[in-house]
């Protein structure tokens, strides 16, 4: 291929690269850097909550600054950590490799997507530094608070915040084009949609759900921006505007967004448990259909964030029913993964431990959601620490358990070297213990009635009880424990990049195509373009042969290439 003939300069190889693997690393490292920022915000929040004393004294953060830190923590963790690491990072790394392609369908567009994302990152990081401080209306930025500087005290911070979020959404729309086109149109000869690894299906679903849900929010974000800078009245109640309209636009995106993050994480976990349990995925097609059903349902549940927000109480019950029903397709996926473990042969690698830990924790996140999804219970639970605990029990395992699981698993493919397994296990057990210690007490705080986003909760007597203070203290100390146990990971990640044990092409004896090319794959990925003869998870097939058969391994006695519409309209002309 022609591009192999030219040696690439440092700039074109590592900076302005169109190679999907480099772009994946750029997304991941940007995401991990932003995780430090989000973690620092979390430390500030938790330290403040442990430092305040009964009577509303103590604490070291100004309430306005506290609100700003809370806003930044949520925004960063969802849009600048979960999205780049799970959706863009792993998606870019794995989709072309898993479908047997040389690169994404539109490599330059892919590069542009990252640079728009990086621009959005810079804008976001600048936003708290301008006069007036950063956005301080929560990550949802509901108007009128977010639209009017006279009410919020925030001038340019909110403008830059909206701009950053809008740019970030555009970057992911651009990225999504590549995910879809590559997955459906660049598959290797012989590879049908039903031969795609589940991860690719999950990324396709995530991209479609994202694209269909984000449009209204982009419109809403521009309207909010216009209200803020141009003086229009879209959400201004004094001129007939409706603040609740923004909530609808936000959550029409905001709830499907949960599944945009969930799908890639489920995909990562599916690849890891099949490989490290040496088992074929239980009910592959059923699981794919459950993903499709979840995608569809995710569009009709958004108002469960607004049960008591002033919407017509009559529509709450249908939304509540839909919300609860989404547990059905998600349960199909979870149970199928659990059934995959049955009669397996599990190797407890760091990747597998994180994948299993993900299940153990995400289960609690899932079941606790039933309480807030029920309209009657939400009257009390809404905007309480119970909700905080619930969504951290979903998002933390998705991002910080499935994410590291993927990193430990695919690190040899990305860098041609292993991460250290001992440090990986220290990272896992430490994170597992302290994560639970942070958020279990917050369920109790929620039941006591602790409402959210209070800089000084001890202004209230009911939040100054010894139990409440104890829960806050446990949660805070556990956070520092959790952060301490991320240090071995950070060291492991960067040290192993250069000094880790050298990894072969297929260190885990895996079946999917990304393991059938060199580690790390060169520009152009495959030495010979792969041809696919079988499904993605042929682990431990019946008989006495090897315990895995790669997707590109021909059946006994077959040598001819299967017919496949590998025809180009351009080549044909």
Partner 1 sequence: MSHAHAAPLPEERTSTGVATGKVALWWFLASEVAIFGGLIMSYVVCRLAHPEWAEEAAHTVSAAGALNTVVLLTSSLFAVLAHSAATHGDMKKASNLLFATVGGGLVFLCVKAYEYHHEISEGFTPVASLFWGFYFFMTGLHGVHVVAGMTALTWAALKARKNEAPWAVEYTGMYWHLVDVIWIFLFPLVYLASAS
Partner 2 sequence: MLHYLPFQLSSFAGDIDQVIRVIYYIVGTWFVAAEVILFWLIFGSRSKPGVRAAWLPGTGRAKWAVLAPVCAVLACDLIIEKASSPTWEYVKLDIPHPDVEVKIEARQFAWIFTYPGKDGILGTEDDLVAKELHVPVNKKVVFHLEAADVLHNFYVKDLRLKQDAVPGRSIKGWFDTNTEGTYEIACAEICGKGHTLMGSKLVVDSNEAYQSFLAAL
| Residues at the site binding partner 1, with contacts judged by CB under 8 A | 1, 4, 101-107, 173, 176-177, 180-182, 184-187, 191, 211-220, 222-223, 226, 230-234, 236, 239-242, 245, 249, 252, 527-529, 564-571
Angstrom distance (rounded) from CA 496 to CA 198: 28
Residue 35: partners with Cβ closer than 8 Å, 6 or more residues away: 77, 81, 85
Residue (144 or 412) nearer to partner 1, CB = 144
- Of 189-208, binders to partner 2 (CB under 8 A) are none
**Any contact of residue 529 with partner 2 (CB under 8 A)?**
no
Which phi and psi angles does 7 have, rounded to 5°? -65, 140
- Of 401-430, binders to partner 2 (CB under 8 A) are none
Reference 221, options 175, 176, 173, 163; nearest CA is 163
137 binds, among partner 1, partner 2, none (CB under 5 to 8 A by kind): partner 2
Q: Collapse the DSSP code of 344 into the 3-class scheme (helix H, G, I; strand E, B; otherwise coil) and give the result.
A: coil
Angstrom distance (rounded) from CA 158 to CA 141: 9
**Any contact of residue 233 with partner 2 (CB under 8 A)?**
no
Site string (62-81) toward partner 2, x via CB under 8 A: xxx-xx--------------
- Of 151-180, binders to partner 2 (CB under 8 A) are 151-153
136 binds, among partner 2, partner 1, none (CB under 5 to 8 A by kind): partner 2
Residue (350 or 444) nearer to partner 2, CB = 444
**Any contact of residue 51 with partner 2 (CB under 8 A)?**
no
215 binds, among partner 1, partner 2, none (CB under 5 to 8 A by kind): partner 1
The four Cα atoms 59, 63, 67, 68 give a dihedral, to 10 degrees, of -90
Angstrom distance (rounded) from CA 282 to CA 537: 10
Among 470, 491, 547, 561, contact with partner 2 (rule: CB under 8 A): 547
Among 41, 223, 277, 438, contact with partner 2 (rule: CB under 8 A): 277
Angstrom distance (rounded) from CA 363 to CA 327: 11
Handedness of CA 80, 83, 88, 90 (dihedral sign): positive
Question: Least distance in Å: CB of 345 to partner 2?
Answer: 4
Question: Least distance in Å: CB of 262 to partner 1?
Answer: 20
Question: Least distance in Å: CB of 307 to partner 1?
Answer: 19
- Of 364-403, binders to partner 2 (CB under 8 A) are 364, 367-368, 370-371, 374-377, 379-384
Burial category of 390 from C-beta neighbours within 10 Å (exposed 0-12, middle 13-18, buried 19 and up): buried
Burial category of 170 from C-beta neighbours within 10 Å (exposed 0-12, middle 13-18, buried 19 and up): middle
Question: Least distance in Å: CB of 280 to partner 2?
Answer: 5
426 binds, among partner 2, partner 1, none (CB under 5 to 8 A by kind): none
The tokens describing 266, both together, are 């489920």
402 binds, among partner 2, partner 1, none (CB under 5 to 8 A by kind): none
The tokens describing 129, both together, are 């530094």
E strands of 8-113, at which residues?
A: 52-53, 57-58
Query: DSSP labels for 504-530?
Result: -SSTT---SGGGGS-SSPPTTS-SS--
Which phi and psi angles does 337 have, rounded to 5°? -65, -40
The tokens describing 516, both together, are 């059938």
| Segment interacting with partner 2 (CB under 8 A) among 95-103, 120-128, 143-151, 492-500 | 143-151
417 binds, among partner 2, partner 1, none (CB under 5 to 8 A by kind): none
Among 325, 426, 474, 505, contact with partner 2 (rule: CB under 8 A): 325
Residue 318: partners with Cβ closer than 8 Å, 6 or more residues away: none
- On whether the CB atoms of residues 124 and 104 are closer than 8 A, the answer is no
502 binds, among partner 1, partner 2, none (CB under 5 to 8 A by kind): none
Site string (117-136) toward partner 2, x via CB under 8 A: -------------------x
252 binds, among partner 2, partner 1, none (CB under 5 to 8 A by kind): partner 1
421-443 burial, b for 16+ CB within 10 Å, e for fewer? bebbbbbbebbbebbbbbbbbbb
376 binds, among partner 1, partner 2, none (CB under 5 to 8 A by kind): partner 2
Question: Least distance in Å: CB of 476 to partner 1?
Answer: 40
Q: Does an H or E element contain 179, and which?
A: helix 156-185
User: How many residues of this chain interact with partner 2, rule: CB under 8 A?
Assistant: 101
Residue (201 or 526) nearer to partner 2, CB = 201
DSSP structural state of residue 52:
E
Question: Least distance in Å: CB of 291 to partner 2?
Answer: 14
The tokens describing 386, both together, are 């119970």
- On whether the CB atoms of residues 2 and 75 are closer than 8 A, the answer is no
450-460 burial, b for 16+ CB within 10 Å, e for fewer? beebbbbbbeb
| Segment interacting with partner 2 (CB under 8 A) among 81-89, 99-107, 200-208, 321-329 | 321-329
324 binds, among partner 2, partner 1, none (CB under 5 to 8 A by kind): partner 2
Question: Least distance in Å: CB of 383 to partner 2?
Answer: 5
For tokens 């602790």, name the residue. Answer: 450
| Segment interacting with partner 2 (CB under 8 A) among 32-40, 112-120, 220-228, 320-328 | 320-328
């Amino acid at each position: 291929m022609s591009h192999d003939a030219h040696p690439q300069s440092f700039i074109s190889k590592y900076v302005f690269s169109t190679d999907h693997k480099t772009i994946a690393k750029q997304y991941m490292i940007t995401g991990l850097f932003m995780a430090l920022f989000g973690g620092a915000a979390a430390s500030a929040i938790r330290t403040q909550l442990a430092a305040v004393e009964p009577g509303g004294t103590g604490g070291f953060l100004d309430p306005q600054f506290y609100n700003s830190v809370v806003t930044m923590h949520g925004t960063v963790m969802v849009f600048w950590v979960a999205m780049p690491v799970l959706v863009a990072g792993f998606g870019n790394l794995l989709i072309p490799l898993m479908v047997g392609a040389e690169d994404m369908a539109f490599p330059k567009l892919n590069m542009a997507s990252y640079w728009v994302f990086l621009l959005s990152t810079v804008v976001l990081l600048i936003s708290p530094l301008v006069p007036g401080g950063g956005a301080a209306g929560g990550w949802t930025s509901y108007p009128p608070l977010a639209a009017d500087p006279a009410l919020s005290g925030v001038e340019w911070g909110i403008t830059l915040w909206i701009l950053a979020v809008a740019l970030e959404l555009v970057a992911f729309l651009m990225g999504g084009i590549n995910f879809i086109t590559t997955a459906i149109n660049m598959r290797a000869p012989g590879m049908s949609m039903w031969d795609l690894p589940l991860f690719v299906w999950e990324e396709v679903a995530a991209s479609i759900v994202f694209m269909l849900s984000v449009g209204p929010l982009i419109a809403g974000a521009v309207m909010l921006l216009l209200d803020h800078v141009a003086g229009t009245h879209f959400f201004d109640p004094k001129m007939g505007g409706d603040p609740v309209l923004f909530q609808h636009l936000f959550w029409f995106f905001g709830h499907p967004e949960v599944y945009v993050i969930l799908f890639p994480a489920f995909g990562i976990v599916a690849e890891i448990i099949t490989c490290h349990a040496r088992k074929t995925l239980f009910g592959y097609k059923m699981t794919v259909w459950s993903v499709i059903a979840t995608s569809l349902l995710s569009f009709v549940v958004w108002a469960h964030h607004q049960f008591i927000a002033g919407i017509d109480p009559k529509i709450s019950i249908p939304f509540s029913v839909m919300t609860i029903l989404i547990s059905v397709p998600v349960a199909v996926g979870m149970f199928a993964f659990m059934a995959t473990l049955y009669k397996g042969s599990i190797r407890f690698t760091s990747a597998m431990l994180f994948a299993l830990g993900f299940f153990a924790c995400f289960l609690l996140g899932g079941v606790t959601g039933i309480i807030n999804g029920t309209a009657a219970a939400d009257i009390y639970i809404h905007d309480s620490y119970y909700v905080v605990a619930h969504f951290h029990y979903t998002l933390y395992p998705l991002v910080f358990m499935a994410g590291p699981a993927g990193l430990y698993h695919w690190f040899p493919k990305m860098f041609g070297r292993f991460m250290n397994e001992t440090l990986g296990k220290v990272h896992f057990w430490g994170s597992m213990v302290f994560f639970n210690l942070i958020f279990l007490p917050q369920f109790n705080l929620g039941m006591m009635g602790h409402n959210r986003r209070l800089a000084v909760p001890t202004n209230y007597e009911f939040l100054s009880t010894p139990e409440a203070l104890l829960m806050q203290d446990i949660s805070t100390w556990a956070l520092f424990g959790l952060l301490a146990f991320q240090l071995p990971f950070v060291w492991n990640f960067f040290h192993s990049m250069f000094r880790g044990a050298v990894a072969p092409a297929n260190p885990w004896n895996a079946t999917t195509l990304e393991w059938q090319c060199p580690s790390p794959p060169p520009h152009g990925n495959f030495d010979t373009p792969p041809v696919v003869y079988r499904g993605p998870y042929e682990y431990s097939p019946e008989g006495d042969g090897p315990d895995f058969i790669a997707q590109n391994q021909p059946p006994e006695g077959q040598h001819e290439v299967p017919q496949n519409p590998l025809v180009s309209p351009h080549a044909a002309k």
